[in-house]
A and B are shown apart, each in its own frame.
Chain A
Amino acid sequence: MLKFSSKLKVGIIIIFLIVLLLVLNLTNFFKEIKNFFYLISSPFQKTLLTVGESTSDFLSGILEISTFKQQINNLYLKNQELTGEIVALKELKKENEALREALKIGLEKDFQLEAVNLVSKDISQDVILIDKGENDGISKGMPVITPQKVLLGTISEVYKNFSNVTLITNEKSSFDAKIVDKEIYGVAKGKGDLKLSLEFLPKDKTISSGDLIETSALGGVYPKGLLVGEIKEVKKSDVEPFQTAEISSAFSLKKLDILFVIKSF
């Protein structure tokens, strides 16, 4: 009898807890709690993040010392290639400016940006926490980019001083994307665990690995011309009406520090 009553007690407590959670979820109570906890722990998290980064750099330096030489060689070659390209592009820029002046078209105005810091990464992956929120004029749905103009994700939840960013690799995320220099449009879908794929590509178009992908203005979710990633592998099957491609995203979570929220575009 005593055993039964203690079991009953535990059951009642758990049911009470579930009801309490459900009711409190309807209010703003948990948002305040989260904001409070983020406020007191963000200084620790930032220091720990930098410590972790330096540890990771140290460890990877030891592990990858043999491949460094080859990598440096490759980078040197790539650098030379890009320098050549820059010279050519500078000429084009001059020409472009002259033509714009002749046609009297102003340059497109830049985005209104807000610089933010990465505080922590969510445990459930593909979501990060940044250190500005409602008080700084950030609202749901704003795109987030890195200083290199690489698309990172959108604001998905706003607290008073913090906000959550759902990365483009999250399973909930999907948006219109375009292959750079080719008029091929597709839908970029997050696959979780920092993986991304480009779907609904027409079958008759040729796509090769190494092609760059940028956002298109089609969905209206993101401004156009932001870098998304690079095609890693193309999957083509006779059964399916479209071809899909795996994308390796252009950002690396290990190297994120300062980010920008696009307030208007």
Chain B
Amino acid sequence: MLKKIIFFIFLFYILILLQTSFLIPLSISGIVPNLVLIVVILVNLFNRTSEISGLIVALIGGLYLDIFSMSFFGFFGFYTLISLIISLFLKFILKNYVKIPSLEKF
């Protein structure tokens, strides 16, 4: 669990550096992909709904997004809340409306 958290701290740092610097000149008509949010969504999609690690990943990603962006309305924590809500929402949908039998065996 701790290993996972440290891995995601490093991964998100690299991704946020890329999306705030390297990808700007490569953007097409001013659109830069939000890599951190994409990874947060992917992790939560492929995570088991009972596990809490998806929420922790969402928290780390959201904090990074908050640090490297101008806070909305001067409020730090906007992205953190958004990514936590996304994580909870995905868990709710997957738990109640999606059943993938082949995955449950693992």
The residue in chain A whose Cβ has the minimal distance to the Cβ of B79 is A123
Using A21-B77, A24-B76 as known contacts, say yes or no to A123 and B17 having CB atoms under 8 A apart. Answer: no
User: Nearest chain B CB to A35's CB is how many angstroms away?
Assistant: 10
Please determine whether A120 and B25 come into contact, CB atoms closer than 8 angstroms.
Answer: no
Using A21-B80, A48-B17, A123-B20 as known contacts, say yes or no to A10 and B25 having CB atoms under 8 A apart. Answer: no
Q: How far, in angstroms, from A254 to B28 measured CA to CA in the complex?
A: 11
4 extra interface residue pairs, beta carbon distance < 8 Å, beyond A37-B67, A48-B18, A56-B26: A10-B52, A25-B76, A45-B20, A45-B21
9 A-B contact pairs sorted by A residue (CB < 8 Å): A17-B84, A18-B77, A22-B77, A30-B71, A37-B67, A45-B21, A52-B24, A56-B26, A123-B32
The residue in chain B whose Cβ has the minimal distance to the Cβ of A9 is B52
Please determine whether B70 and A253 come into contact, CB atoms closer than 8 angstroms.
Answer: no
Choose among A122, A156, A254 the residue that contacts B69 (Cβ–Cβ < 8 A).
A122
Contacts of A194 in B (CB 8 A): 29-30
Could you tell me how many residues of chain B have their Cβ less than 8 Å away from some Cβ of chain A?
A: 34
User: Nearest chain A CB to B44's CB is how many angstroms away?
Assistant: 14
User: Nearest chain A CB to B87's CB is how many angstroms away?
Assistant: 10
On B, residues with C-beta under 8 Å from A are 13, 17-27, 29-32, 34, 52, 55, 59, 65, 67-72, 74-77, 80-81, 84
Please determine whether B21 and A49 come into contact, CB atoms closer than 8 angstroms.
Answer: yes
Within 8-36 of A, Cβ neighbours of B (below 8 Å) are at 10, 14, 17-18, 21-22, 24-25, 30, 33-34
The residue in chain A whose Cβ has the minimal distance to the Cβ of B72 is A124
Using A48-B18, A193-B30, A253-B30 as known contacts, say yes or no to A122 and B70 having CB atoms under 8 A apart. Answer: yes
